[in-house]
């Protein structure tokens, strides 16, 4: 769960950097990269651990 929070927070920081660079193509790419990390971090929070799935 800690890793999921780290990925989400890093994604938010990267998204903010991309947001401030948005007039250029690099800004949109960085923004999308950050948003993808936010989504993946949140999805990972809802996933059950491997130990619980085998029971």
Give the per-residue pLDDT at 55: 54
Residue 28's pLDDT is 93
* pLDDT number for residue 37: 96
Residues 6+ apart with CB under 8 A from 36: 11
What's the pLDDT tens digit per position in 1-55? 788 999 999 999 999 999 999 888 899 999 999 999 999 999 998 887 766 655 5
Question: Which residue in this structure is represented by tokens 């007039």?
Answer: 23
How far is it, in rounded angstroms, from Cα 28 to Cα 31? 5
pTM, two decimals, is 0.79
pLDDT, residue 52, reads 60
């Amino acid at each position: 769960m800690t890793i999921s929070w780290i990925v989400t927070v890093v994604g938010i920081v990267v998204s903010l950097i991309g947001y401030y660079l948005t007039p250029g193509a690099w800004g949109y790419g960085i923004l999308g990269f950050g948003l993808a990390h936010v989504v993946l971090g949140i999805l990972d929070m809802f996933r059950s651990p491997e130990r619980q799935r085998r029971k």
